[in-house]
Amino acid sequence: MLAEYYKAATEGAAITELDSFGVLKLTGSDRVSWLQGMITNDVEKLAAGRGCYAAHLTPQGKIVAHMRVLKDSDALWLSVERAAIPKLASAFDKLLIMEDVQVADVSNDYSILGLLGPQAAAALASWVGQPVNLEDLYSHRKVDDSRIVASQLGYEVWVPRGEVDTVLRFFADHGVTAIDHGTWDVLRTEAGIPVYGVDIDETTTMPELGESAISYDKGCYIGQEVVAKVKYIGHVNRRFVGLLISGKELPEMKSPIRKGGREVGYITTALFSPGLNQPIALGFVSRSAYAPGTEVELGTGTATIVDLPFRQLAG
């Protein structure tokens, strides 16, 4: 089924339930200024209907959770992997003193659907009754009690849990193919999107993933000194990278990556890419080997380090 699902997601329209994601809702008059001091990106400069990628860090600069932050006129919405929500909610609770901020875990109120493919916008327009007009990444709009978000893989639709079956039937009746989590995992891997608990954890620093979640112009936030030090030094000691694998054998999770026989990193995700027609992997590699084009060893085979996302290679 992978070939059929992959074709729908890359040539037509496909939908999947993203059960691994949840939502924290922040309200209260101090929500924006308080969150500004908690995360790596700049929420104060966001207009309502816009969003950004960010992370909450420990004082040592390690990731507690990475997230998409969506700004409304009366609330902030944090899209977070469910695996990280208890730890994030607990950290936030300890950091709230006298501020007028309420943090609510509303994950069980919504089903999050991923709508993918070049025909996804047309399918959404049929559902909404007009074009969605969400051009910028993480831009979003409310539709009745649901929310549509422009995501890295297409769109997300946050639907009240009691309405999800009706919404799924609508899209099925309009030619949208329901795909499984495995296909979504292929697509997110090709896009170079890390998953908390799989690719990243509490040992990861944000600069190792790149700079898209970091503002160097905003005021202070927890872990900022560590992030700023990396910027000053000019490089990270390891990077999150893609690997094009020679041959057909898939390495196991946490398999070592070697260069010249010396261990330089490890694999976090490995699978077959229909778009590239070969095995690919995600992983962390040290500075001595993370330059694109570097050939490394995986078990008895080899792989080549590439920049993410992979899908630019398929183009």
Contact 115, 156 (CB under 8 A): yes
Read off the pLDDT of residues 197-252 as tens digits, 9 standing for 90 and up.
999 999 999 999 999 999 999 989 999 999 999 988 988 999 999 999 998 889 99
CATH of range 237-314; options 3.40.50.2000, 1.10.3720.10, 2.30.30.90, 2.40.30.110: 2.40.30.110
Q: Report the predicted TM-score, pTM, of the whole model to 2 decimal places.
A: 0.95
Residue 312's pLDDT is 63
CA R_g for the chain: 20
Structural element, H or E, at residue 147? strand 146-151
Angle among Cα 40, 108, 50 to the nearest 5 degrees reads 40
User: What value does the mean pLDDT take over residues 274-285?
Assistant: 96
What value does the mean pLDDT of the chain take?
Answer: 96
| % the chain with pLDDT above 90 | 94
Q: Which of 22, 17, 158 is nearest to 85 (CA)?
A: 22
Using alpha carbons, list the distances in angstroms from residue 219 to 73, 132, 145, 152, 308: 22, 34, 34, 27, 29
Residue 315 pLDDT level (bands cut at 50, 70, 90): very low
Assigned fold of 2-190:
Gyrase A; domain 2 (3.30.1360)
User: What value does the mean pLDDT take over residues 193-197?
Assistant: 97
User: What value does the mean pLDDT take over residues 108-117?
Assistant: 98
Residue 209 has what DSSP assignment?
Answer: G
Sequence spans of domains, the chain: 2-190, 237-314
Kindly tell me if the per-residue pLDDT of 314 is higher than 60: no
Query: Hey, is 72 helix, strand or coil?
Result: coil
CA distance 215 to 122: 34
Q: Do domains 2-190 and 237-314 have the same CATH topology?
A: no
Kindly tell me if the per-residue pLDDT of 286 is higher than 60: yes
Residue 47's pLDDT is 98
Structural element, H or E, at residue 314? helix 311-314
Fill in the amino acid letter for 204. T
Read off the pLDDT of residues 49-96 as tens digits, 9 standing for 90 and up.
999 999 999 999 999 999 999 999 999 999 999 999 999 999 999 999
Structure-token match 């027609």, residue found = 277
